[in-house]
Amino acid sequence: MTRVESIYRYPVKGLSGESMASVVVNAGEVIPGDREYAFARAGVQFDPDQPEYLQKTNFLALVRDEKLAEFDTRLNPASKTLSIFQDRILVMEADLANAADCVEAAELFRDHLDMSPDNCPSIVRATGGTVGHSFSDVPNKAISLIGLASVREFGEKIGAAIDPLRFRGNINFDSDEAWQEFDWIDQELRIGDVILRAFKRTQRCAATTVNPTTAIRDINVPKKLHESYAHMDMGIYTEVVEGGEIKCGDEIELI
């Protein structure tokens, strides 16, 4: 049986995720608050009232900035307070609705990443939050699924323990069958009350080489995937067709 094992949202692109026991999603939308904020690199133009998709290289992200994994962050969606921890010590609380706090948080990451003073990033968010725009790696309003059986088989094949959090998926699901999710492309799935349409396999980049616990690039995941399977894919992207609640433990059924 195929069931939801864990649910995550990533409030700030490139920073740590937050585990959720359940979530309510709406048709055509992402998990509320997922990739709602991002740190845009100096010189990147983003219009919050007319947001457009920009590639991940325009933002602080693990693909280039592995030291981001040294932080653990939590965002209070009501107060918009971002709590930033390093080595389990609270180093900053920033009100993301306050311009001065946003600058202070950006300077913290600039200094930690050894960026020059004139290359300070800036926090960006679309008007309306994720209803307006999500800083996903794809232009679509997507929810990503990761098959834990596939992660396990991949780890066994290369002789390494692979933390599924490397793949920063929204929904991690478990089953007895590895790679079955690739057969779901262009089909619809039911999870609880929700219907999702799978539309694309997720091709992996250098962000997955970063160990989410140590912040060290220790396994070349894309290269190992290609050597093992002749592709660099792990997980799938889906879009919400009919909204509702998804809970850990829910069965995933192919319609």
Q: Look at residue 91 in the predicted model and tell me its pLDDT.
A: 97
Q: Look at residue 11 in the predicted model and tell me its pLDDT.
A: 98
Give Cα 254 distance to the centre of its chain: 24
Q: Look at residue 18 in the predicted model and tell me its pLDDT.
A: 97
pLDDT (tens digit, 0 to 9) for every residue of the chain, 255 residues total? 999 999 999 999 999 999 999 999 999 999 999 999 999 999 999 999 999 999 999 999 999 999 999 999 999 999 999 999 999 999 999 999 999 999 999 999 999 999 999 999 999 999 999 998 999 999 999 999 999 999 999 999 999 999 999 999 999 999 999 999 999 999 999 999 999 999 999 999 999 999 999 999 999 999 999 999 999 999 999 999 999 999 999 999 999
Q: Look at residue 40 in the predicted model and tell me its pLDDT.
A: 98
Q: Look at residue 196 in the predicted model and tell me its pLDDT.
A: 98
Among candidates 179, 45, 222, which has minimal Cα distance to 124?
45
Among candidates 45, 13, 36, 33, which has minimal Cα distance to 207?
13
How is residue 141 annotated by DSSP? Answer: -
Domain residue extents for the chain: 3-29+138-254, 37-131
Among candidates 148, 150, 136, which has minimal Cα distance to 37?
136
Could you write out the DSSP letters of every residue in 54-70? --GGGB--TTT-GGGGG
For the 3-29+138-254 domain, the top CATH level (class) is mainly beta
Q: Look at residue 166 in the predicted model and tell me its pLDDT.
A: 98
Cα distances (Å, whole numbers) of residue 1 to 128, 147, 176, 182, 253: 38, 13, 7, 17, 9
